[in-house]
Amino acid sequence: MSGKRGPIIAVDGPSGVGKSTVSRLLALRLHLTYINTGSMYRAMALAAADSGVDITNDEALKDYCSRVSLSYDFSTGDTLVNGVSYSGRIRDQRTGELASIISAKKPVREVLTSFQRALGERGSVVMEGRDIGTVVFPDADAKIFLDASHEVRAKRRHEEVTSCASHTANDVSDELRKRDERDAGRKNAPLKMAEDAVYVDTGELNAEEVVDRIVSVIKDRKI
Ligand code: DC
């Protein structure tokens, strides 16, 4: 571990792989602070859309990002954009779509990357996202890349949204595929595994088993 700060654990991977559940449990187990960066892209997307910004217009988005003020509530994990919490709509399907679009845009990534670095630089964090080990904290003490087949992830996502009867398994599978293509295919900080990350396939494991595996990697490295 570098310097005197606490450890920085980066957890990356595609949608529906179980990153949030695993990262939250891992942080509890190791007495670290859990930070979910996907919810920051979601909050930014909602804030920009609510302000009437056309998120497909690069100039308008750049202007919005240059004026935006962000803060983070460590007790709830909410990101406040211009003082407003978007927690009520943060997990909506539509919000995920907007976040996936906005997260490909450079000014949005720049503003959120520096925000994430400022939150995590003192260490003692488990930070989850798509580019934490590659871009946000390339010197993280441990980098974990969670993965699972498309089928496994689509099944998990479908189970999460079964309350919404209009959402068929096929809809969920198609949306996931689109999201994956956008997240991995974008020019700015695409989803990819860092060369020095530990790859964990979560397909056959429950969340506690994934956490056990990560904890043993961390202990082996004496982090
Ligand atoms: O993990 P999530 O579904 O809440 O993330 C929402 C979107 O934000 C997703 O399409 C990818 C994007 N994202 C990103 O580009 N970089 C991150 N560090 C976290 C999320």
Q: Is residue 105 part of a domain?
A: yes
Q: Is residue 181 part of a domain?
A: yes
Give nearest CA residue, ligand 1 atom 4: 38
Pocket of ligand 1 (CB under 6 A): 15, 37-39, 41-42, 96, 99-100, 103, 129-131, 179, 183
Strands 33-36 and 125-129: parallel
Q: Which atom of ligand 1 is nearest to the CA of 20?
A: 1
Q: Is residue 39 part of a domain?
A: yes
Distance 6 CA to ligand 1 centre (A): 25
Q: Which atom of ligand 1 is nearest to the CA of 100?
A: 10
Q: What local confidence, expressed as pLDDT, does residue 126 receive?
A: 98
Q: Is residue 77 part of a domain?
A: yes
Ligand 1, from 11, 19, 23, 37: best to mutate by most atoms within 8 Å of Cβ?
37
**Which of 49, 65, 51 lies closest to 98 in space, CA to CA?**
49
How many Å apart are CA 67 and CA 73, to the nearest integer?
Answer: 20
Give nearest CA residue, ligand 1 atom 20: 38
Q: Is residue 107 part of a domain?
A: yes
Q: Is residue 1 part of a domain?
A: no
Tell me the residue range of the domain where 12 lies: 8-220
| Count of structural domains within the chain | 1
- pLDDT, averaged per 10 consecutive residues of the chain (223 residues), comes to 79 95 97 97 97 93 96 96 97 90 95 98 96 97 97 90 74 92 92 96 96 95 83
Q: What local confidence, expressed as pLDDT, does residue 162 receive?
A: 65
Give nearest CA residue, ligand 1 atom 1: 38
* Predicted TM-score (pTM) of this structure: 0.94
Residue 40 maps to which CATH number?
3.40.50.300
Q: What local confidence, expressed as pLDDT, does residue 168 receive?
A: 87
Q: What local confidence, expressed as pLDDT, does residue 163 receive?
A: 60
Token match 């980098």: residue? 143
Q: Is residue 157 part of a domain?
A: yes
Q: Determine contact, residues 193/199, Cβ cutoff 8 Å.
A: yes
Q: What local confidence, expressed as pLDDT, does residue 165 receive?
A: 60
Q: What local confidence, expressed as pLDDT, does residue 110 receive?
A: 97
DSSP letters spanning 152-199: HHHHHHHHHTTTSTT--HHHHHHHHHHHHHHHHH-SSS-S---TTPEE
Q: Is residue 3 part of a domain?
A: no
